[in-house]
Each structure stands twice: as structure tokens, then as C-alpha cells.
Structure 1
Amino acid sequence: MKRLELMPTDENILKSLKEDIFKRNQELGYFIQLLDNIEGPYSLAVNGSWGSGKTFFVKQAKMILDAYNVNFDMSKENRFIIENLIKFPQHPIKPQYCIYYDAWKNDCNLDPIYSLICSITAGYEYFNDRGSENKKKVIEAGISVIQNMIPFIPNSAVRTMLSILPLDKMKDALEKTNPLNNVKEHIELEEKIQGFLQNLSSEKEERLVIFVDELDRCRPDFAVQLLERIKHYFDLENITFVFSVNCEQLVQTIKKFYGEEFDAGRYLGRFFDQVIPLPQAELPNYFTKLNIGSSVFFDLTIQKFIQTKNLSLRDIVRIANIENIIKKHMTNRDFWFIGSNQDTGYFISHCVIPLLIGINTLEPQHYSAFANGENVAEFIAFMRENDYSVRIQEALKDRQNDEIIERDESLEGGLQAIYIALFNKSYENENVYVGKYLFTPSIRQYIKEASSLLSQYSNFSY
């Protein structure tokens, strides 16, 4: 058993580009061209819901820009792969110097201007000296800021600082400044910050692209302060800011800081020159990558559940992880006859159990009610729209086998009878026919065991 979710490491970012896992490579190319044509200070937001793949998108964009900047420290092999995947035939892409800043990681008891400067300083280490004449000045100015800010850093923020800046640089800064005996005035620190910014803007040919990620997950005061610090300090001719955010959530975050009556949407307009909706991932391709993309009804049921619930990419991975544990046995003919007949076993294995797994994974608070016969409406709604509904209708046509449970002629009436036969406690020890389907105590036990995952029907070595 392995975790299917791709973490946004450099290796996985490259893999996602090579395989075009999200089918966004074309849109990434357009996005790079947009960045390439920006002049002057500019800020844009890539807007997407939580779990929709925003981090992957901006890290993919950064990797492409890095590949097209010969001064970035990247292997020739990886550079060649990326340049052949994402081509720009009209004109060469201008070298852009990219920094990735994880706002949530840096959300600590510290003014965000400091951690942002640390991230930029650390990021410049990845550029070759020959290509960035300003590199040394930027790093020296950044270290100077860090030295002067150490006396103002709360103990709770020290670990964050250490995680951003290379340890040797932090060690040098700590050794050069004694926070007990050499406390600097804030005005001197402000001067150091201005000096750092002047070095950033002194080379007009070097355009800096700063990707700010996870802002909507930060504390309201930190999120607001970061936006305002960026607006105040970084409104420079050669800097582009790219925020990957859930704008809806960010609006709520801002309202928590300024109050519910505050016009947070208009407030964000002060900071974002443009808002770009994150391109939708192509689900069929993603389903295939997660091993739930076949045309067997087991996979089709999972796909229908995902589409019905409009799940994020992150939730799709969660569902796929669990469904793959039981897939091998659910699609094995040997398990379709458990205490019943083939029609019943096939229906249970391919439709009912994957639905139960989906509900328990995504909405565990509703699982007990569903499994105890208290949510017939959801069962009917889902099965009626399922690709398997044609087979269900055929199985329900045989009225001679119906026992105990009354039903009307409609598909809804038959589905209600099925749900009652499976989950109503009054029938848990009964053999009940609904059309051709035979629901027995062993079938009900099979459902309980298989959907719990702790049973012979789970394959943990997939």
C-alpha cells in the first residue's frame, strides 16, 4: 500500500510536467507568456479552491521559468526535458529570477517582511554568479537585514528563520550580532530593508517573480500584514508577485481581521492587478493515473461519486487510496456469489460498497446514518444517475421474486426497496428478494466487512 498523493517536491513537479498529469501544460505555457510580457510592478492571483492543485501549478510555472533561465542551477538533463515539453516558438522567454515563499510555513510571531527577505536571500543562492551581477549585493544586503532584525525576533520564530535561511548564513548572522548587548534601533533596521530593496531593483534587466503560496491558510493578522508589507515595500519596477490563493477563503480571512461588514473583495483589489482562475484538471486523465480510470462498473461508480460531489484533487486522491485497497476483490468474480446470486454480488461489489467507502472517506459524520437505513434519498439519487442504473432497471422488472417489501413500478420505488432490504434493521436476518436481487444476512455481513476495510476483502499490498 502506498500513498497516491503527489507531494510537490522537485522530483514530482518534474514528473507532473513530463506526464502532464493534470493536463495543464498548455495553460502553463500561456501563463508563462503572460508573465513574460509584464512590465513595471505587477501582482496577480491564481485563484482556486483548496485541494485544486494551486501549489503544483505555481511550482510547475517556477520550474519552467527556472529552466529557461540559464543562470539558474539546474541539471542539463532536466533543463532539456522541460524546454522540449514547454516550447515558446515566437520569441525567447526573458530570464526571470523566481522565488517561492510559503506564507503558511512562515506564519509565526514575526513581521512577514523579515521572512520574505530571508526567502529572497536564500533563493538567490540558486543562481550562478556570472549571470546575476547583483547576486552578491542582494545576499549581502539580505544578511545585513537579518543581522539587524535578530534582536527583535521572538524565540518562537527562531525555528522558522532557521528553516528558511541556509544554516551557515544564519550561523554567521548570529555570530556577528549579540542580541543581548547590541540591540539596534528600528530606524536602522528600516534603513537596511530599504538598502536591500534598492539592490533588488538596481538591475532593471533582472525581473524577479515571487510566488506567494498558502496565504489563505494563514492567521488573519499575518495575511493582512503580509499583503500590506508587500504593497508598501515591494512596489518596484522589476518585481512580479504571483499569489496562489483561494480568493473566497481569503475574503473570509480578511473579514475576520477587519470585521464582517468590511468590503474585503474591494480591499483585495488594491493588491491584485489581475485574478486568474486556476485551469480545471482533466479528470479522466487523473483517474487513470490513480488507477480508478477503467470502464468497469467499480471504477465508474467511484468516478460518478467524485463528479457528483464535485471533489477537489486532494479529495479524489483520498478516495482513490481507499478504493484501491478493495478494488482487487470487488472486481474478482469469486466474490460475486457470496450467499446470493451473481446479479446481487456484482451489484453490491461494483456499486454499493464503493459508494459506502466514498461516504465514509469524505463524509464520515454521515456514514452511520446511511449505513443504518436513515438516508434513502441519497441512495436513490446516486443510483438513479449511476451508469449501472440500466442494469438495475432490468433486474427490477421481475416482480415475481419480490418478497416482504412492497414497491411501486418506478425505478425510485425499486431503489427504495433495495435500500430497505440492505440497511433497515428489521430485515437484517431475513432473505429478501427485490426483483432478481437476493439480499441475505451473509450479503449484509459482506457489506459491513468489506466497507470497514479490516477484512479478507482488503488488499493492503496494492
Structure 2
Amino acid sequence: MNTVNFDIDVTSDNPLRHDKLNRGPAIDLFAKIITGFPQGCVCSINAPWGMGKTKFIRMLEAKLRKNGHRTFFFNAWESDFSEDPIMSLLSEMSLSKHNKTLWGLTGRIAIGVGKELAKGVIQKISGLDCESTLEVLADWSKKKVEDYENQKATIHDFKISLSEEIASSSSEPPAVFFIDELDRCNPIFAVKTLERIKHIFDIPNIVFILAIDKSQLENSICGYFGTDKFDSKEYLRRFIDIEYQLPEPSYGTYIDYIATQIGIDQDLRLEGSRAFEDFKRILSFQAQRRHLSLRQIEKLLIHVSIITSFFPTGALMEYIAFFVYLNFFECDILNKLEDRGYTGVEDLLHDFEQLCPAMDDDYSFFIGKVLGLYGDYAGCLDLNKPESWLPKNQEYFSEDAYMQLIPGMKQIVEADYSHRIKLEDILKHIRLYSRISKF
């Protein structure tokens, strides 16, 4: 197996060169949307974990840079140890260190204008230098009002200064600030980041783009407020102006890409065989039906690579891949196979129907071979009467597809070649690695 490297490779000269998920049209659309908001806004790109959000925004960032926009990128999860996200956000902007006004205002916001004043009041309340409770409370209230007014003025001045700084350093407004992994942060940091963006960074010439798993971020918001009854959807809606649901990827293209990355594409594509294309079609169908993440597909094919490495080259690798898929997502079927729980291939075929798109002759020969592997393993086929293996009256298959099933089975059970494999060997190696985490 090759060394697996799924690092993002996005080039500035051609941001879509490594677009394996056919997301170029969506990136072009989003780039136009952003250009239409020079006054600034907050956008979200929503998709479950492992569906390629980071690569999407990296390609979008490169495209915007190529178009003349100034961009910034902030991985929130790497900074959620900070007490206040404002300093982390600003540090990613690479703003001029000579703008003393801006950095002075930033410090006042981060530290809090009234922090030391409040500390003095607390000392008085605790009994130090305290002449009367009424006097202390009156003094404390006065300082809190002053603190609020000072902080409000500071934020106002900060917005003006930052807006001018952004406008002077960006050739094509707006500047775009990408925030990734916010949904993975601790709830306090996640909510504070949202609040800082909305109340401090809502200025002209800057657009924020949040790459999030919306449902997970909503859970973090509920955690912050201490109850799952809190309306986190409505709360989040107040911070986000434009929501974009990342479309599901082109699974077939991605399966090809990962198979090449981990070095199993040649093993799964024997010369003259369409079996890998058949397996890929089934896996793509199931990925779309189950909304599998790209990470799940990666791990599935890595397991295929590990297990097929124990078999000789050309030993029906694509069928091994099919049984590894069953181990990942259809354990009940695999367990029943291993226990010889199907009385015949007809019963197994009934369970296979739910895994596959409507049967046709494009890949029924592939399914026939899988049925043959089980029939040979369970000893449930009368080799003298292949016409008895499957029922004549069925509705799921086209006539052409049905005609391909039995030849596929016969090729397995009648085969006599050096690299022939048995289902028991496949199951043995699958079980050997069954304790490796799948997801």
C-alpha cells in the first residue's frame, strides 16, 4: 500500500486543478456571490464532517486571491485555548504593525476597559477600604456605566480604523475571512467567535465565511447556554446572512481518486475486466443513499488495500472490496454469510437487492460472481443443475440482467486457476482486521 497523503494541494495559478469532486461550478457561483457584497456579510458553508468543506474553502480562497481579493484563513479549533478569539482573529489578518491606533483599540477591547476598575470595587466589597455598602454599590454602578460607555466608544473607533485598514490594503473589495472547524471548538470559544464577528467585525469591505457542520454548531450553542431546549437554530440565524448547503460530491470520481492515491487502482482494474466499475457503481449508489462522508470512503478503501495485500495479484480484488464494504455497512448480511445462514443463493440475492440500484446487465455478472463465492462456500449449489440456482419468476431484474447472473456464478464455482480465492479466506482476513476502527 502506498503512503496515504490526503493533504490539500491547491495551487494559486489553477485553484481547481485538483478538484476531484466536481465542485468548480459551486466555487464559481460562490465567488460571484461574495463579490456582490462589498458592504460585508457573514456566510456559512454547511456540510457534515468529512464532506470536503476545508478543501472547498481552500479552493475558493485561491480563486478569490487570483481575482484580486485579500483573504485570511483561521482554523478556529487550533485556537480555542484562547480566552478571547479577537486576538486570534486579528493575528490572522496580518495587519500593519505600524497602525498603533488600531492595535491600541484592539488591546482595549480584548482586555476590557473596566477590568481594573471592577477589581478595585471587588476589593471594597470584600471589606477593604469599605466605609459603607451603599457607597460601594453606588461607586460600582457608576464605574460600570462608564465602563460600558468607554467600551462602546472603543468598539466604534475600532470598526472605523479596521475598515480603513482593510480598504487601503485590498485591491478588490471585499476582503474575505475564512473560518474553519468552528463546530469542533469548545462551546464558549465557538459562541464568543460568533459574537465577535457580528458585533465587532460587522464592517464594510470584509466578508466572513464559516465552514461548519451546522447541526454540531447548534449543539455547541445549546451546550453554551446549558440546555438543549434553547432555540439554537434561531440564535445562529442572527449571525449568518447567507447559508449555503455544500452539494454532495461526485462519489464515483472520488472513489477513483482515492483508489489511485493508495495504490490499489491497478489491482482493482484487471485488464479486460469491468468488475471494478461494477463495484464502484454499487459503492457510489450506497454512498449517496447513506450520505457517506468522504472520510468514510477513504477508510473503507484503506481497509480494502490492507486486506487485498494478503492475496496474490489479480485474485478477484474487486470482490474482496465488496465484502469489506459489507463489513463496514452491512454487518448483518456479512454475519449471516459467515454463518452459512442463507439456505441458498436466492435468499442472499434478496438481501443484495437493497444494496444495488435497479439491476441491469451492466453489473449483474459482478453480483453473479459474489453469489457464486457464497454458493461455493456454503455448498448449496447443485453443480449438475445450474438452472435451479435462481428462480425463473422474478421482477427485480431485466431479462438481460438475469441472464448474466448464472454465468457469473458458474465462472466462480467451476474455476480452476492458480489465483482462485475462497470466501473463507476473505472472511478470515476481514475478521482479523475487524477490530481496527472503521470511522
Report the TM-score, using the length of structure 2 for normalisation: 0.63
Contact persistence 1:4–1:317 (CA under 8 A): no
Q: How does 1:231-310 map to 2 (within 5 A)?
A: 231-258=198-225, 259-291=227-259, 296-298=274-276, 300-308=278-286, 309-310=290-291
1:116 pairs, out of 79, 89, 93, with 89
Contact persistence 1:298–1:354 (CA under 8 A): no
Q: Give the superposed CA RMSD.
A: 4.4
Contact persistence 2:41–2:208 (CA under 8 A): yes
Contact persistence 1:290–1:320 (CA under 8 A): yes
SS at match of 1:234: coil
SS at match of 1:18: coil
Give the 3 Å change call, closer, same or farther, for CA 241–384 of structure 1 in structure 2.
closer
Contact persistence 1:47–1:245 (CA under 8 A): yes
Deviation at 1:32, TM superposition (A): 1.2
Paired letter, 2:87 = Y
SS at match of 1:43: strand
**1-side partners of 2:82 and 2:64: how far apart?**
33
Deviation at 1:280, TM superposition (A): 3.1
Deviations 1:237-295 (A, max 9, x none): 22211111112222222223332222222212111111111133222322222235967
Q: Which residue pairs with 1:168 in the alignment?
A: none
Residue 409 in 1 paired to residue 391 in 2? yes
Q: Which residue pairs with 1:381 in the alignment?
A: 351
Paired letter, 2:42 = S
Q: Which residue pairs with 1:224 in the alignment?
A: 191
SS at match of 2:209: strand
Give the 3 Å change call, closer, same or farther, for CA 290–262 of structure 1 in structure 2.
same
Q: Which residue pairs with 1:202 in the alignment?
A: 164
SS at match of 2:176: strand
Give the 3 Å change call, closer, same or farther, for CA 47–311 of structure 1 in structure 2.
same
SS at match of 1:19: coil
Paired letter, 1:315 = Q
Deviations 1:130-154 (A, max 9, x none): xxxxx455587348746996899xx
2:303 pairs, out of 316, 322, 329, with 322
SS at match of 1:17: coil
How many residues are treated as equivalent by the alignment?
A: 344
Q: Which residue pairs with 2:49 in the alignment?
A: 50
Q: Which residue pairs with 1:2 in the alignment?
A: 2
Deviations 1:172-226 (A, max 9, x none): xxxxxxxxxxxxxx98998776655432112546432111111111222221221
Give the 3 Å change call, closer, same or farther, for CA 147–453 of structure 1 in structure 2.
farther
**1-side partners of 2:13 and 2:312: how far apart?**
34
Task: Judge which range, 202-211 or 27-36, deviates more.
Answer: 202-211
Paired letter, 1:446 = D
**2-side partners of 1:298 and 1:148: how far apart?**
59
Contact persistence 1:141–1:192 (CA under 8 A): no
Deviation at 1:356, TM superposition (A): 3.2
Give the 3 Å change call, closer, same or farther, for CA 328–263 of structure 1 in structure 2.
same
Contact persistence 2:187–2:223 (CA under 8 A): yes
Residue 443 in 1 paired to residue 400 in 2? no
Contact persistence 2:183–2:213 (CA under 8 A): yes
Q: Which residue pairs with 2:58 in the alignment?
A: 59
**2-side partners of 1:306 and 1:98: how far apart?**
35
Structure number with greater Rg is 2
Report the TM-score, using the length of structure 1 for normalisation: 0.60
Give the 3 Å change call, closer, same or farther, for CA 112–364 of structure 1 in structure 2.
farther
**1-side partners of 2:214 and 2:348: how far apart?**
31
**1-side partners of 2:355 and 2:76: how far apart?**
42
Instruction: Give % identity.
Output: 24
**1-side partners of 2:255 and 2:101: how far apart?**
48
Give the 3 Å change call, closer, same or farther, for CA 317–139 of structure 1 in structure 2.
farther
